[in-house]
Structure 1
Amino acid sequence: MKKFLIAASILSANFAFLGKEISNVIKSGADIIHFDVMDNHYVPNLTIGPSVLKSLRDYGIKSIIDIHLMTNPVDNLIVDFANAGADIISFHPENSLHIDRSISLIKEYGCKAGLAFNPSTSLNYLDYIINKLDIILIMSVNPGFGGQKFISYIFNKIRKVKKIINKNQKTILLEVDGGININNINQIAVLGVNIFVMGSAIFKSSLSYNKTIKNIKNSIK
């Protein structure tokens, strides 16, 4: 497995040509396709559902699809997205009545399970379920909209999570989402992050996807 993985967030893509956009960004070097699923309830925005994922699979998209559920509740959508072709499903602990059960449900359907933490959400949830997780997703912006700036105090939160992972000697991937760009990605990478979710920095770039992603990867030292 690569040390660093770029997850292209389709929230910033051109939805009129979504299949083509995703195909192009994969050919240009993106490692993962990231779905920001918002319900206009848990977060103030409404985005996409499982039918979009199924359409992309039918279109021929075969890359890893990473689903980030910013919804309340989560269990029904876990099943729907898994059946539509998801590979990774992450949810926020405050949106599940039974966190352990929701994680088990993700795994029952053959997907990798992740737990997502907002900037102000306590990491105490990890005390009880870290043994079941494949991914820990740290939000470096408050969820709901793309194009936000990276919150500086999240650097310390990333450090804390990495220490927890190392202490438990787990092969859990650490993912960060929000405000990542070519100017700060290396500063984030040195903290031990594995997956970098990037939307605007890729899809809104003035350069080609190929050149943009190449520049991003070259900036990680």
Structure 2
Amino acid sequence: MANRIHPSILNSNLASLDAEIDRIPSSDGIHIDVMDNHFVPNLTIGLPVVECLRKNHPDAFLDMHLMIEDADTWAPGYAEAGCESVTFHVEAARAPVKLARDLRAAGARASMALRPATDIAPYEDLLPELDMILIMTVEPGFGGQSFLDIMLPKIRRTRALAKKAGLDLWIQVDGGVSEKTIDRCVDAGADVFVAGSAVFRADDPDSVVSALRDQADLRSGHA
């Protein structure tokens, strides 16, 4: 598949989310982090705000990343709100297969995220239930962290498992993605890239989105 850039609004001006989203019209998706101050030590937005964003940006691809406890209870609500992709952390899911099926039944792409210390191997049999795997390349909870190169082998293993199963599985990386790190992610097998600081700290965020996609396409041979 073509490479996708999903800017993270965690690093934007959270008091002006509509305006910030309007600054990145060429993005392939809007990555929205939901944190509950339990699963991770940070607190961000929740379902009521996301419902407003869905209404105000009906054509945007909303890519939800739920860093919350009790994902089984709360994740389906984001799919029912019309979000195109909903990611739950496997560490926070009691019944990940049922949850993935519930998300798909509600019309969303089902995605599973892994903390840096969580191996993909035990979840090989779950991959057919999923549309995307999110490999965290920083510890979840805060933006602006440095990319963890030690996650590259996990990305490679995940891509290899997807190929082994014959799956068209998106592999997303989140954390420290920039023009300095995206080539390594492409080489490892990722094709969906969450970039926060690199995008929203720029004077022209949308130009960064386009530049990152062009860089990834050139590296992967899609240019």
TM range (shorter): over 0.9
Return the TM-score normalized by structure 2: 0.93
Aligned pairs (5 A) from 1:70-219: 70-205=67-202, 207-219=203-215
Shift of residue 212 of structure 1? Answer: 1.9
Contact 2:177 2:194 in 1 (8 A): yes
Total equivalences in the alignment: 217
User: What is the CA distance between 1:75 and its match in structure 2?
Assistant: 2.2
TM-score (norm 1): 0.93
Residues of 1 paired with 2:177 and 2:187: CA distance? 14
CA distance in 1, matches of 2:132, 2:177: 18
Q: 2: CA distance between counterparts of 1:58 and 1:3?
A: 27
AA aligned to 1:5 is R
* Distance in 1 (alpha carbons) for counterparts of 2:215 and 2:93: 38
Q: Distance in 2 between matches of 1:67 and 1:167?
A: 27
Cα distance in 1 for residues equivalent to 2:189 and 2:149: 16
**Aligned-pair distance for 1:190?**
2.1
Quote the offset at 1:24 in angstroms: 1.8
Provide the rounded CA distance (Å) in 2 between the counterparts of 1:215 and 1:82. 30
> Equivalent residues in 2 for 1:38-49 (5 A)?
38-49=35-46
What displacement does 1:50 show? 1.0
Q: Note the C-alpha offset of 1:101.
A: 1.2
* SS in structure 2 at match of 1:66: strand
Gaps of 5+ in 1: none
In the alignment, the residues of structure 2 paired with residue 70 and residue 24 of structure 1 have an alpha-carbon distance, to the nearest angstrom, of 25
1:50 maps to: 47
Q: Any idea what the Cα deviations from partners look like across 1:125-171, whole Å, max 9, x if unmatched?
A: 32331111110110000001000001111111111111111111101
Superposition pairs of residues 27-42 of structure 1, within 5 angstroms: 27=25, 29-42=26-39
d(CA) in 2 for partners of 1:47, 1:87: 20
Identity %: 34
Question: Match for 2:201: what amino acid?
Answer: K
